[in-house]
Amino acid sequence: MSSGGKSSNSTGAAGFSWVQGSKGQVKGVNLGGWLLLEPFITPSLFPKNDTVDEYTFCEKNKDAKSMLQKHWQSWITEKDFKEIHDIGFNMVRIGIGYWAFRKRDDDPYIRGAAEYLDKAIKWAGSLGLKVVVDLHGAPGSQNGFDNSGQATKNATWLQQSNVDLTLDVLRIIGKKYGNNPTVAGIGLLNEPFPEKLGYLEPSIAKVVEFHKNAYRKVRGASSPRTAVLISDAFVNAFKWNDEYQQTGPGANIIDHHDYQVFDDNLLPLDLDKHLEQVTLDIDASVANSTHPTTVGEWSGALTDCAKYLNGRNEGARYEGKFSASKGLNKTCSAGENDFKEFEKDETLRENTRKYLQKQADVFSNKSNGWFFWTFKTESAPPWDAQFLHKCGIFPALTGDGGNQTYVRRV
């Protein structure tokens, strides 16, 4: 596709300026595993191998409702938002499943998460933080991953009834949050994966059609100025230069997620090659976009060794224990899954620090900004911004709110 699309330049309904070509505006963090469960973030909630995602968590646990209420109340609190602010982040991205707003008749999901999203937006607003509300799970699963709420080899999201329900949920989200001054944008759908949804090209076309209908639905329910974040759907962002062209004041932002640990070709690289790959990835995927762009997810992980990262009943590619990959047959270090062991492992600490710094530098210089995945975990140090900051190896941030500046930690 050519690069002749109209660029986006908008303050958005929330008063946050998303400008194509403006670099490093966002220094954000995800609140993963809170309003949509992920086994690798809170493995203690998934002690049995027949409970692999939020769908089966609700289906298999007779006490699921009380367990979820306890989790929602305790995993992220107002105190965490104060810490996020004090670290220097200026935005949070909060994923939530469709079932928080509407369910299908046969869904086992439990309602209630939207109440905590409301609290989160209030807490953020009181501190001058901005929020991206991200629809993280769609009916039938948009990617087959547990981060959609349902881990499945038969993702059926593109069935028309599921697409229609997703659009209606986005209408509800747009009406409820689109004009909120704390909400900087609405993520239309996290990581739709065309390869998991049927034949590649027809699936890509359907995903594009969905995104266009989705941002019309959101803005129709809120304001023409509402900014939306559109997943690159695992396709280089510049490929969308002729799509999603901004025709009104609301910015269309392309959201790219950058991980090297899920790629069999990149996982074996040594540290220097991983650092080089950061720039190569962004130059290939983001740099030539005519839209504003974010790196909506990234981490400090150089391996996929975090427990349950590849699924509740899957091991790591790094150790050759992931069923869909030949793997490397190496040994994961203890520090990949233990905070104290991570602190003792000087090589792991230093390699993680260098990788974090390189990513933060490149993403700040070549996109509108980034959201680290994630703020906290039970036992996965390279994925835990709270822990990495306390260790002194997370890239230093200074400033407040929209006046954020970025400082290299040497």
- Residue 405 CA, distance from chain mean position: 22
CA angle 104, 154, 231 (to 5 degrees): 80
Does the annotation count 297 as an active-site position?
yes
Catalytic residue among 38, 54, 297, 314: 297
Catalytic residue among 38, 191, 314, 336: 191
Query: Quick one: the chain helix, strand, coil %, rounded to 5?
Result: 40, 15, 50
Does the annotation count 201 as an active-site position?
no
Please name the amino acid found at residue 346.
Answer: E
Active-site residue numbers? 191, 297
